[in-house]
């Protein structure tokens, strides 16, 4: 039986352990103390029970998965794979893995679930760059289909292939990507939130109108404002800031002053009871005022947005809806193209990443092809003509 050791039994480590155990791997978990591991194994057991109750898995499959979960014993050397999912701190990850390396077999693959640290840096610090690979799961790991497989500077291609095969055998969709800030999803998805905030800052539409438009016209599961309330504005804006700073403070990824002011006022979203919407009311009520009067948009921009939208979706959209939907989708498509241009990933991997990591209704680059690249360019040019920065410029 294949064997994986998971270091860190928190939200991600426990989720990854569950996925591996359900797919027939023998799983050994470690955390700062045994009580944390025991609690994680108990939590996984409860989740397996719920899956049985919902008839998603059989009682026998749940029992088999449960029997494969253990505390890490002295058999680390028998692991095919070690996945670390501990705190997001390069020094701590290096120190914890560094202590384990001497007990690992030379062929054991070392995977990190980091969201924002360099896989290459970790591999080099460990002196194990050839067998160190990113295996970036999404939260909750048992439900989210995507794994970004990240090739560090010195990672052997055979190690990348093996990690991709393992993730696929665990029922995941794999997007291979380079070791770059935000990898694919945490970079390419940023305009979904940021352009929506800018539309509000510009006084063009209300949060409710934006959310409703992206769902009813665009087919997105959640609108950008309700999604950022759900994620938490502190978490969302911290990721934005990290990715923006690491990508040379590109205007396309720049933080929103409106979102940052929500954080400084303590309005973090659902978890604090208030963000863009107030959750203390019977049903969520929008509490963000939009500057009035709304600015007049140039006829060329409205026409380009309507033309773009007509080819992007089957649903009939009003001009107001088209202006909002087309602007956000064009910004997303442009970021996907820049990511491809910057060598982050191949187009198919970028599309897999946003579909399975963000649940977008279509891959962004396939969507661009369906709309027609000249229509996308025409809209980006019209947006660029009124923008006060260069965020709508396309890659060459
Ligand atoms: N939470 C997410 O949405 C998410 C998504 C993708 C990736 N990640 C990444 O996954 C990693 C873990 O995140 P999380 O959300 O599960 O955090 P978490 O706080 O839920 O769990 C981290 C666990 O690591 C343990 N730990 C800390 N120091 C340790 C040590 N020295 N030895 C063993 N265990 C130790 C902690 O006790 C804790 O149980 C981070 O690198 C994070 O960036 C998180």
396 belongs to a structural domain: no
Could you tell me if 220 and 361 lie in one domain? yes
The conformational region for residue 294 under phi > 0 = left, psi -120 to 50 = alpha, else beta, is beta
Could you tell me if 148 and 198 lie in one domain? no
Q: Is the CB of 113 under 6 A from ligand 1?
A: yes
Q: Is the CB of 144 under 6 A from ligand 1?
A: no
24 belongs to a structural domain: yes
Could you tell me if 170 and 193 lie in one domain? no
Contact 338, 187 (CB under 8 A): no
Angle between helices 299-312 and 319-341 (to 10 degrees): 80
Q: What is the pLDDT of residues 55-84, one digit of tens each?
A: 999 999 999 999 999 999 888 999 999 999
Could you tell me if 40 and 135 lie in one domain? yes
Could you tell me if 202 and 175 lie in one domain? no
Output the six-digit token pair for 312.
């992007």
Q: Is the CB of 123 under 6 A from ligand 1?
A: no
Output the six-digit token pair for 283.
């049903």
Counting atoms of ligand 1 from 1, which one is nearest the CA of 116? 43
Could you tell me if 106 and 240 lie in one domain? no
**pLDDT at residue 253, rounded to an integer:** 98
Compute, in angstroms, the gap from residue 365 CA to the centroid of ligand 1.
32
391 belongs to a structural domain: no
Task: Look at residue 204 and tell me whether its pLDDT is greater than 90.
Answer: yes
Average of per-residue pLDDT across 199-215:
96
Among 179, 208, 230, residue at a domain's last position: 179
**Residue 44: CATH number of its domain:** 3.40.50.720
393 belongs to a structural domain: no
Helix (H) or strand (E) holding 51: helix 34-53
Let me know if 140 is exposed, middle or buried by CB neighbors in 10 A (0-12, 13-18, 19+).
Answer: middle
Among 147, 179, 211, residue at a domain's last position: 179
**pLDDT at residue 14, rounded to an integer:** 98
Task: Report residue 125 CA to chain centroid gap.
Answer: 26
Could you tell me if 159 and 223 lie in one domain? no
Query: Across-strand partners of 28?
Result: 5, 70
Among 179, 214, 237, residue at a domain's last position: 179
Q: How far is CA 56 from CA 19, 49, 145, in A?
A: 14, 10, 16
Counting atoms of ligand 1 from 1, which one is nearest the CA of 84? 11
**pLDDT at residue 282, rounded to an integer:** 85
**pLDDT at residue 74, rounded to an integer:** 85
Could you tell me if 119 and 225 lie in one domain? no
Report the 3 state secondary structure along 224-287.
HHHHHHHHCHHHHHHHHHHHHHHCCCCHHHCCCHHHHHHHHCCCCEHHHCECCEECCCCCCEEC
Strands 109-112 and 285-286: unpaired
Q: Is the CB of 86 under 6 A from ligand 1?
A: yes
**pLDDT at residue 238, rounded to an integer:** 95
Q: What angle do CA 353, 359, 364 make, to 5 degrees?
A: 55
395 belongs to a structural domain: no
Could you tell me if 232 and 199 lie in one domain? yes
Q: Is the CB of 139 under 6 A from ligand 1?
A: yes
Average of per-residue pLDDT across 337-348:
98
Active site residues: 115, 136, 148, 186
**Residue 274: CATH number of its domain:** 1.10.1040.50
pTM assigned to the model: 0.95
Q: Is the CB of 39 under 6 A from ligand 1?
A: no
- Among 225, 148, 226, 157, which Cα is nearest to 182's? 148
Counting atoms of ligand 1 from 1, which one is nearest the CA of 36? 39
Could you tell me if 209 and 162 lie in one domain? no
Strand segments (E) across the chain:
3-7, 26-30, 69-71, 81-84, 109-112, 132-137, 146-151, 173-178, 277-278, 285-286
Among 31, 118, 137, the mutation site with the greatest number of ligand 1 atoms within 8 A of its Cβ is 31
**pLDDT at residue 322, rounded to an integer:** 98
Counting atoms of ligand 1 from 1, which one is nearest the CA of 40? 39
Compute, in angstroms, the gap from residue 228 CA to the centroid of ligand 1.
22
Could you tell me if 230 and 171 lie in one domain? no
Tell me, what DSSP letter sits at residue 154? T
290 belongs to a structural domain: yes
Torsion (CA) 16, 21, 25, 26 in degrees, nearest 10:
100
Q: Per-residue confidence at 293, pLDDT binned at 50, 70, 90?
A: confident
392 belongs to a structural domain: no
Among 5, 9, 11, 114, the mutation site with the greatest number of ligand 1 atoms within 8 A of its Cβ is 11
Among 13, 42, 87, the mutation site with the greatest number of ligand 1 atoms within 8 A of its Cβ is 87
Average of per-residue pLDDT across 121-139:
98
Average of per-residue pLDDT across 343-353:
98
Mean pLDDT for the chain overall: 96
Counting atoms of ligand 1 from 1, which one is nearest the CA of 112? 41
Compute, in angstroms, the gap from residue 241 CA to the centroid of ligand 1.
20
CA-nearest residue, atom 19 of ligand 1: 10
Compute, in angstroms, the gap from residue 8 CA to the centroid of ligand 1.
6
**pLDDT at residue 295, rounded to an integer:** 86
Q: Is the CB of 5 under 6 A from ligand 1?
A: no
Q: What is the pLDDT of residues 259-283, one digit of tens each?
A: 999 999 999 999 999 999 999 988 9
Residue 323's domain comprises 187-386
Could you tell me if 147 and 125 lie in one domain? yes
103 belongs to a structural domain: yes
**pLDDT at residue 291, rounded to an integer:** 77
| Count of the separate structural domains present in the chain | 2
**CA distance linking residue 239 with residue 218, whole number of Å:** 24
Number of Cβ atoms within 10 Å of the Cβ of 376 = 24
Q: Is the CB of 96 under 6 A from ligand 1?
A: yes
Task: Look at residue 172 and tell me whether its pLDDT is greater than 80.
Answer: yes
Average of per-residue pLDDT across 87-110:
97
């Amino acid at each position: 039986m294949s064997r994986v050791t998971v270091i860190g039994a928190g939200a991600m480590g426990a989720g990854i352990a569950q996925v591996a155990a359900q797919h027939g791997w023998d799983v050994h978990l470690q955390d700062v103390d045994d009580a944390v591991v025991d609690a994680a194994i108990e939590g996984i057991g409860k989740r397996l029970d719920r899956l049985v109750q919902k008839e998603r898995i059989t009682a026998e499959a749940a029992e088999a998965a449960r029997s494969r979960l253990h505390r890490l014993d002295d058999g680390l050397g028998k692991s095919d794979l070690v996945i670390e999912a501990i705190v997001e701190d390069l020094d701590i990850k290096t120190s914890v893995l560094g202590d384990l390396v001497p007990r690992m077999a030379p062929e054991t693959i070392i995977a990190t679930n980091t969201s924002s640290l360099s896989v290459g840096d970790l591999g080099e610090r460990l002196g194990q760059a050839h067998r160190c690979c990113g295996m970036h799961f999404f939260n909750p790991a048992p439900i989210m289909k995507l794994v970004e497989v990240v090739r560090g500077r010195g990672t052997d291609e055979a190690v990348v292939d093996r990690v991709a095969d393992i993730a696929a055998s665990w029922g995941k969709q794999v997007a291979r990507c380079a070791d770059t800030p935000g990898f694919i999803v945490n970079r390419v998805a940023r305009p979904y939130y940021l352009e929506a905030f800018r539309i509000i800052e510009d006084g063009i539409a209300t949060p409710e109108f934006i959310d409703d438009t992206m769902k009813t016209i665009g087919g997105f599961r959640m609108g950008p404002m309700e999604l950022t309330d759900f994620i938490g504005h502190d978490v969302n804006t911290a990721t934005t800031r990290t990715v923006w700073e690491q990508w040379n403070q590109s205007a396309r990824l720049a933080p929103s002053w409106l979102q940052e002011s929500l954080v400084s006022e303590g309005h973090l979203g659902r978890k604090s009871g208030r963000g863009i919407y107030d959750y203390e009311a019977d049903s969520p009520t929008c509490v963000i005022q939009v500057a009035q009067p709304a600015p007049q948009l140039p006829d060329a921009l409205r026409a380009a947005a309507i033309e773009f939208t007509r080819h992007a979706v089957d649903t009939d959209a009003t001009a107001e809806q088209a202006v909002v939907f087309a602007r956000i989708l064009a910004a997303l498509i442009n970021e996907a193209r820049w990511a491809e241009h910057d060598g982050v990933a191949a187009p198919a991997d970028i599309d897999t990443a946003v579909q399975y990591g963000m649940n977008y209704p279509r891959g962004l680059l396939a969507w661009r092809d369906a709309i027609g690249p000249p229509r996308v360019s025409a809209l980006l040019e019209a947006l660029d003509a009124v923008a006060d920065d260069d965020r709508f410029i396309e890659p060459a």
